[in-house]
Structure 1
Amino acid sequence: MQTPEQKFELITRNLQEYLGGDRIKEVLAERDLNVYWGTATTGKPHIGYFVPMAKIADLLQAGCHVTILFADLHAYLDNMKAPWSLLKLRAKYYEAVIKAMLTSIGVPIEKLKFVFGTSFQLSEKYTLDVYRLTAITSVRDAKKAGAEVVKQVDSPLLSGLIYPLLQALDEEYLDVDCQFGGVDQRKIFTFAEKYLPVLGYKKRSHLMNAMVGGLSGSKMSSSDPDSKVDLLDSAESVANKLKKAFCEEGNIVDNPLLAFVKAVIFPVNTLGGHEYKFEVTRPEKFGGNVAYGTYDDLEKAFENKELHPGDLKAATAVALNKLLEPIRKIWEESKELQKLTLEAYPPPVPKITTEVSRLDLRVGKVLSVESHPERENLYVEKIDLGEETGPRTIVSGLAQFVSKEEFTGKLVVVASNLKPAKFAGVLSEGMVLAASNSDKTVVELLEPAEDSIIGEAITFEGFHSQPDAVLNPKHKIFEKVAVDFITSEECIALYKGVPFKTSDGPVTVKSLKGAHIG
């Protein structure tokens, strides 16, 4: 029978930080702690997920009631990393793979509660609380709360600001005493501690584990295949990736392999008081085989250069593959899980190369606008395309439709690889794209998202971008492609139904629907 002090030690060991320790002790004096850990169901879980799994094992050993939240709605709010069409499938994939991970390290999953975010986050009461929270939260506080978790831009999407608000509310709706997560979530946790009491809900405590860096030395990320090992990678792939990992001889401070061994390999192999030795196999001429009974012994040997980086990499690969083998076996024996993987993470559709691939459409910023010296319907603009050669001179027939004041300073879409041509004596080095109604009495500029990067290429999902250096006017490539440029009912610029896009979103027009673009 564990004492409250022993439980507290288990709950807080190996953490980088915790908030509200006194509140945790107060609960433990009366009953076991209710804790939740959540994960947004975006990219495939990688070996970095073993870090929270090791702590969840500690929490269960301390008698905690643990809820694992598959935050499917959060996955959509975080820059739409999980589109609506894949939301449920990815949440199911996460459930299956995390259960397999816990099983592989000997954690009894029958003691866990698994919850999908959309099972309660779409309820009327929860939605009203979201509105209540938005009414008392400043944009500054919302942006600050998500600073380490949600993509940060000068003009953030509203979804990214709402993300941390929902995570705070989840503590109340999951009826927990404590939330557990990475130290990168600290600002969300302090937001929750500040704002939940304002809504009349109790302040919760927070547990934070250290973040384990990726193999390349940066944060481990699903979007960077070189930084992480997938849970379903083959044994050979694991060994090859670890061979390429950043591991400087004698460096114990910036060393992702040592950090992983410390956070995962030793803790999960010593669960329940089991003895464990980290075994290194090497030729006699290099010191022969050696085993380390504690992480501190391993770290000291590496710091003193008694253990070579190559040997550490090989030994870590062996230890990691022992953890991954049960997960691989579960997948190999289940056609249902194999099918789910393909449906949740469909392989990319090969991109099509067509004439639109030959266009070079770019985001430009209009620096100045002057009237053409000879033609009153023409403007002469200086437009910055982010080129070292400086801004381009472009002649546009927009004088009747857009004022100089409205045009100046605006972000526009420029066809930048048209052959330069003279218009009434002025050389034009490109064309500004605009939409017009059928009788061309109304013309509206194409507008990239306001945080688009100057010089950034406009892309079309599913199509390669292989622009010509300069389009040959005799081939009329632009004219052929522009036949399929049109605006949607939502005023989004399209090519054959595919949006014009920058990294910050689709290109739009102000109000024209079903309009031709040229």
Structure 2
Amino acid sequence: MTPEKKYELITRNLQEVLGEEEILNILKERDLKLYWGTAPTGKPHIGYFVPMSKIADFLSAGVEVTVLLADIHAFLDNMKAPLELVNHRTKYYEVLINTVLESIGVPIDKLKFVVGSTYQLTKEYNMDNYRLCATVTEHDAKKAGLLYPGLQALDEEYLKVDAQFGGVDQRKIFVFAEKYLPHLGYKNRAHLMNPMVPGLAGSKMSSSDPDSKIDLLDDEATVTRKLKKAFCEEGNVTDNGVLSFIKSVLFPLGSLNGQTPKFVINRPEKFGGEAIYTDYQSLEDDFREKNVHPGDLKNSASEAINKLLDPIRKKWASDPELSKLTSRAYPDPGSKITKKKESKKHNQPPKGSNTPTELPVDVSRIDVRVAKIIKAENHPKNPKSYVSTVDVGDASGNPRTVVSGLASHIPLEQLQGRHVVAVCNLKPARLQGIESSAMLLAASSSDGQLELLDPPEGSEIGEQVIWKGYGCAKRDSEILNPKQKVFDQVAESLRVNEEGVAVFKDVPFETSKGVVTVKTLKEGTIR
């Protein structure tokens, strides 16, 4: 391949590239060196084929690809897994990613894996981190996400690469790296960004719903069943995870090694018969014009996905050691290591201990309910706050007064009659001279955007929000002592995930009608 051809393959289907000229200059002299990082936490699902399809492009173009298995980051991810589990998951990720790339049929002689702790715990790396912290402005640190961007920037230097690959959602981190690495005497790297691709379930379903995530080891029948439940509205091409997967994964993989991609719609003759598409745009156009039915698209996507997964499933089925690795990395809830983890998570002593059992510090003590704002007014003393009359479903039938600092973020008219999510067992407090008896939960992003949480449509006022595996507080059983800061500790694990679903440690907020979401914000914190 000529440098120009390599550049075309390296950058195709990306949303943005920072440092195009530098990449071309390097390719005229030698092959590019690039890294992609992932934290070994939950089981990799079919969404991993999105970055894998680009990594396949990189390897086909002769790029030296380093996959960073960020075990330190995985351990620090809300301390959800002990190091023993993280170590097993790190190995699981390496084997699975290797298997995925082998199944695609790309050369992997220039692929290597690096475990983050092999250099992130060294004296040199930590000294550079301290130097970086002393250099970065508070504004830039908050803008990019505080500690994590600095560590990710240093990875570029310590992995000795020319470029970093990630999603366009990491753009602020990449810009941060370009600004601050030279402050330490290190060179700038190029940054290649994938577009954000919706999940197969689409925005209508929770990413934490087992039926909305296709595991890379799911059997054929399970894949077919889950695809049937995927959100795929007729004629909708802008919010369609099935189409997005076909565009971002199936067509690019089908065109590797100079092949002509092909996606086949299989359907009975009376509905048009078989249709073969060799380019994505034609398929999208036909779906938009309703020439392709959602059911036929999902059935055909299911067949294509099962072909992708079949080599991975066969390798796992033929090697008992891989099944053992899976069990060690993701043990059943009743296993010893999981019980040890749960004991720590709930601040409970292990079985046989003489230490008195303490109440858990988690969402099982937080009384969160679906509520309705009956009326909202400007605070008489503070222009940044609202005073709302809120029905939280108390047995008395009386609404509560709630003071919230939302005036700088949400227009007053948008609060009138709005259904919200409220914490109802905090101790009442006087805020700017008015007693507030509950707290409305809102999500905020790193760029300062703020939005209230939205309970699922049809949820009853006063219905409690639950978290599977944790439950919810017994109504009116405990008023949280502010000195113990129970809610503050729980709030450290409250966030909005990449699909706009409110979660506690990846477990979604739920009512009987579905999951709690934030319609206008993704990936943020909740307070």
**What secondary structure does 1:110 align onto?**
coil
- Kindly tell me: are residues 500 and 167 of structure 1, through their superposed partners in 2, closer, same or farther at Cα, counting changes over 3 Å? closer
Moved more, 105-114 or 254-263: 105-114
- Kindly tell me: are residues 121 and 221 of structure 1, through their superposed partners in 2, closer, same or farther at Cα, counting changes over 3 Å? farther
Shift of 1:461: 11
Residues 149-184 of structure 1 deviation map (CA, whole Å, 9 limit, x = unaligned): xxxxxxxxxxxx321111110000000111011111
Given residue 29 of structure 1, which amino acid in structure 2 is its aligned partner? K
In structure 1, distance between residues paired with 2:164 and 2:264: 35
Given residue 122 of structure 1, which amino acid in structure 2 is its aligned partner? L
**What secondary structure does 1:316 align onto?**
helix
**Which residue is equivalent to 2:150?**
165
2:169 aligned residue (156, 174, 184): 184
**Which residue is equivalent to 1:262?**
247
**Which residue is equivalent to 2:492?**
504
2:6 equivalent to 1:34: no
Given residue 153 of structure 2, which amino acid in structure 1 is its aligned partner? A
Moved more, 167-176 or 293-302: 293-302
**Which residue is equivalent to 1:111?**
110
Map 1:298-317 onto structure 2 (within 5 A): 298-317=283-302
- Kindly tell me: are residues 221 and 196 of structure 1, through their superposed partners in 2, closer, same or farther at Cα, counting changes over 3 Å? farther
1:278 aligned residue (255, 263, 271): 263
In structure 2, distance between residues paired with 1:240 and 1:412: 39
In structure 1, distance between residues paired with 2:140 and 2:316: 43
- Normalising by the residue count of structure 2, what TM-score does the alignment of the two structures yield? 0.67
Given residue 252 of structure 1, which amino acid in structure 2 is its aligned partner? V
Shift of 1:84: 2.6
| Contact kept? 1:10, 1:58, Cα under 8 Å | yes
Map 1:28-427 onto structure 2 (within 5 A): 28-146=27-145, 161-218=146-203, 223-349=208-334, 361-362=365-366, 387=392, 389-390=399-400
| Contact kept? 1:212, 1:260, Cα under 8 Å | yes
- Kindly tell me: are residues 360 and 85 of structure 1, through their superposed partners in 2, closer, same or farther at Cα, counting changes over 3 Å? closer
Shift of 1:266: 1.2
Moved more, 319-328 or 341-350: 341-350
2:15 equivalent to 1:13: no
Shift of 1:140: 3.0
- Kindly tell me: are residues 170 and 308 of structure 1, through their superposed partners in 2, closer, same or farther at Cα, counting changes over 3 Å? same
In structure 2, distance between residues paired with 1:196 and 1:220: 40
Residues 26-53 of structure 1 deviation map (CA, whole Å, 9 limit, x = unaligned): 1112111111111111111111111111
**What secondary structure does 1:68 align onto?**
strand
In structure 2, distance between residues paired with 1:248 and 1:235: 24
Moved more, 110-119 or 121-130: 110-119
**What secondary structure does 1:115 align onto?**
strand
- Kindly tell me: are residues 13 and 305 of structure 1, through their superposed partners in 2, closer, same or farther at Cα, counting changes over 3 Å? same
In structure 1, distance between residues paired with 2:466 and 2:268: 54
Shift of 1:346: 2.2
Given residue 259 of structure 1, which amino acid in structure 2 is its aligned partner? S
Shift of 1:415: 9.7
| Contact kept? 1:15, 1:209, Cα under 8 Å | yes
Shift of 1:208: 0.7
- Where structure 2 has 5 or more consecutive residues not aligned to the other structure, the ranges are 344-356, 369-388, 394-398, 403-422, 429-436, 438-452, 454-461, 495-527
- Normalising by the residue count of structure 1, what TM-score does the alignment of the two structures yield? 0.68
| Contact kept? 2:252, 2:261, Cα under 8 Å | no
- Where structure 1 has 5 or more consecutive residues not aligned to the other structure, the ranges are 147-160, 365-383, 393-410, 417-429, 431-452, 472-477, 479-490, 507-518
**What secondary structure does 2:210 align onto?**
coil
In structure 2, distance between residues paired with 1:65 and 1:281: 39
| Contact kept? 1:212, 1:220, Cα under 8 Å | no
Shift of 1:463: 6.7
Shift of 1:133: 0.8
| Contact kept? 2:365, 2:472, Cα under 8 Å | no
In structure 2, distance between residues paired with 1:252 and 1:459: 33
Residues 252-296 of structure 1 deviation map (CA, whole Å, 9 limit, x = unaligned): 222111111011011112210123321121111101112112212
In structure 1, distance between residues paired with 2:358 and 2:331: 27
**Which residue is equivalent to 1:436?**
none
Shift of 1:62: 1.4
In structure 2, distance between residues paired with 1:341 and 1:176: 31
Shift of 1:71: 1.1
Shift of 1:460: 12
In structure 2, distance between residues paired with 1:136 and 1:503: 30
Given residue 197 of structure 1, which amino acid in structure 2 is its aligned partner? P
| Contact kept? 1:182, 1:211, Cα under 8 Å | yes
Aligned length: 396
- Kindly tell me: are residues 457 and 192 of structure 1, through their superposed partners in 2, closer, same or farther at Cα, counting changes over 3 Å? farther
Given residue 23 of structure 1, which amino acid in structure 2 is its aligned partner? E
Shift of 1:504: 2.5
Residues 383-420 of structure 1 deviation map (CA, whole Å, 9 limit, x = unaligned): x999563279xxxxxxxxxxxxxxxxxx998699xxxx
In structure 2, distance between residues paired with 1:344 and 1:222: 21
**Which residue is equivalent to 1:157?**
none
Q: Which has the larger radius of gyration?
A: 1
- Kindly tell me: are residues 456 and 501 of structure 1, through their superposed partners in 2, closer, same or farther at Cα, counting changes over 3 Å? farther
Shift of 1:88: 0.8
- Kindly tell me: are residues 221 and 263 of structure 1, through their superposed partners in 2, closer, same or farther at Cα, counting changes over 3 Å? farther
Residues 89-129 of structure 1 deviation map (CA, whole Å, 9 limit, x = unaligned): 11111111111111111123232111111111111100100
In structure 1, distance between residues paired with 2:401 and 2:217: 49
Given residue 75 of structure 1, which amino acid in structure 2 is its aligned partner? A
